[in-house]
Amino acid sequence: MTEPPQPQIQEEPEARQQATERGEREAEIYVASQWKLVWWRFRKHRLAVVGTVIVILIYLIALFAEFVAPFTPDAFDADYTYAPPQRLHFFDKDGFGLYVYGYSTKLNEETLVRTFQVDESKKVPVRLFAHGNSYKMWGLFETDLHLLGPVEKGEPMYLLGANDQGQDMLSRIIFGARVSMSIGLVGVALSFIFGVFLGGISGYYAGATDTVIQRLIELLMSIPTLPLWLGLSAALPPEWSPLRIYFGITIILSLIGWTDLARVVRGRFLSLRGEDFVMAAELDGSSKPRIILRHMLPSFASHVIASLTLAVPAMILAETALSFLGLGLQPPIVSWGVLLQEAQNIRSLATAPWLLLPGFAVIIAVLALNFMGDGLRDSADPYAR
């Protein structure tokens, strides 16, 4: 990657100002590093930028879940089973004031089903930085501060409704983001190791090694993934701790998910192998690992990052599907797929349609990640065109 010569700027008095400006900009493009060029191109892709902002937001929410969520995920209140979502009101009679309306309940004498009605006479004041259930932030210090919560502890506030145990859906979706979004990252990190290793070997050595690995990839791609995933996760011992199950599932997902990545890496390797700078490094007597890591890897890193970003949503969807079917993560863990298990029963779904909301969290996360990945892929090769 040699730098092109800087353009000569003609010294003409009148046009000098303009010319230097243009020249400076051109010169800036000429000397900009590859990553800068990638960033400039990425910035033009508006949907990708929006997607990136949303992705960062979701990860921030997941990181600070304890603080952002109004309640802890396992806090329950049997009085508010299937309480419907409340609207958050911003303006009180005298100016700004946050509040929600309380519920009045009616017990159906025949079916013993409790129905909720929004009771406009009961006002539940809500405030920012409210004191609620106490928690240990990242296991470091104890606090009871929540971004949003009822002023009086114990008052009902269910912005997205409650489930069958009167647990707040909003809090559970926020905590679910932590598991669902991180399983994508961990799974992709593992696939990355498999994919780069096997794809790299395949592309660099070519020949018989390449054929064997390519056949293996074709084989794995030709098997419907979900049945295979289900079969493997059914074998995870049920007595495992939640954390071990979590890692077991990510390993299973990445065992089958590395194929796409390996293909990208192999393709790049094959096209780079013939480049002059690789030949030069070889003649210089660099070792193979050094050529791969020091010379080839940096020049296709942007492509790999784009493919990685596009692999995250696939992992998230896979985890959601597995947990939804009951063969992935199990209830003490809160993930979007686990939350959707509650929506599997059509009768409870009919009484509480808001049980589907974790699904919309999945859609938003997947869409945002897809847009971000598309933008990265389009800008991965800044020298093209």
Partner 1 sequence: MIKYIARRVLYMIPTLILISMISFAIIQLPPGDFLTTLVAQMSAQGESVDRSQIVTLEARYGLDQPFYVQYWKWISNIVLHGDFGESFEWNRPVSELLLERLPLTIALAGGTLLFTWAVSLPVGIYSAVRQYSIGDYVITFLGFLGIAIPNFLLALVIAYISYKYFGQSVVGLFSPEYVDAEWNLGKVLDLLAHIWVPVFVLGAAGMAGVIRIVRANLLDELHKPYVVTARSKGVPERRLLVKYPVRVALNPFVSTVGWVLPLLLSGEVIVAQVLGLQTTGPLLLRALLSQDMYLAGSIILMISVLTVIGTLISDILLAWLDPRIRYQYQ
Binding site for partner 1 (CB under 8 A): 215, 218-219, 221-228, 230-232, 234-235, 237, 313, 317, 320-321, 324-327, 340, 343-344, 346-347, 349-350, 353, 356, 359, 362-363, 366-367, 370-371
Tell me the sheet residues that pair with 104.
117
The angle formed by the CA atoms of residues 351, 65 and 142, to the nearest 5 degrees, is 120
**CA nearest 202: which of 192, 193, 210?**
210
Contacts of 33 (CB under 8 A, 6+ apart): none
Rounded to whole angstroms, how far apart are CA atoms 278 and 1?
11
- CB 320 to partner 1: min, Å: 6
Nearer to partner 1, 197 or 240 (CB): 240
Rounded to whole angstroms, how far apart are CA atoms 89 and 161?
16
- CB 202 to partner 1: min, Å: 18
Rounded to whole angstroms, how far apart are CA atoms 256 and 231?
12
Instruction: Enumerate the H helices of 325-383 as residue ranges.
Output: 336-341, 346-351, 357-379
- CB 343 to partner 1: min, Å: 6
The distance of Cα 213 from the centroid of its chain, to the nearest Å, equals 29
- CB 192 to partner 1: min, Å: 21
Nearer to partner 1, 165 or 348 (CB): 348
- CB 378 to partner 1: min, Å: 13
- CB 357 to partner 1: min, Å: 11
- CB 349 to partner 1: min, Å: 5
Query: Judging by beta carbons within 10 Å of its beta carbon (0-12, 13-18, 19+), is residue 97 exposed, middle or buried?
Result: middle
Nearer to partner 1, 292 or 357 (CB): 357
Nearer to partner 1, 145 or 349 (CB): 349
Nearer to partner 1, 46 or 215 (CB): 215
By the 8 A CB rule, do 166 and 80 touch?
Answer: yes
The tokens describing 212, both together, are: 């064997």
One-letter amino acid of 161: G
Tell me the sheet residues that pair with 162.
168
Q: Which helix (H) or strand (E) holds 51?
A: helix 46-63
- CB 43 to partner 1: min, Å: 21
- CB 317 to partner 1: min, Å: 5
- CB 340 to partner 1: min, Å: 8
Nearer to partner 1, 156 or 337 (CB): 337
Residue 116 φ/ψ, nearest 5 degrees: -105, 145
The angle formed by the CA atoms of residues 325, 369 and 379, to the nearest 5 degrees, is 145
Instruction: Read off the DSSP letter of residue 292.
Output: I
Nearer to partner 1, 252 or 380 (CB): 252
DSSP 277-290: HHHHHHHTT--HHH
Residue 119 φ/ψ, nearest 5 degrees: -105, 105
Nearer to partner 1, 243 or 346 (CB): 346
Nearer to partner 1, 60 or 223 (CB): 223
Nearer to partner 1, 133 or 348 (CB): 348
How many residues are present in the chain? 385
Instruction: Enumerate the H helices of 156-241 as residue ranges.
Output: 169-205, 207-222, 225-234
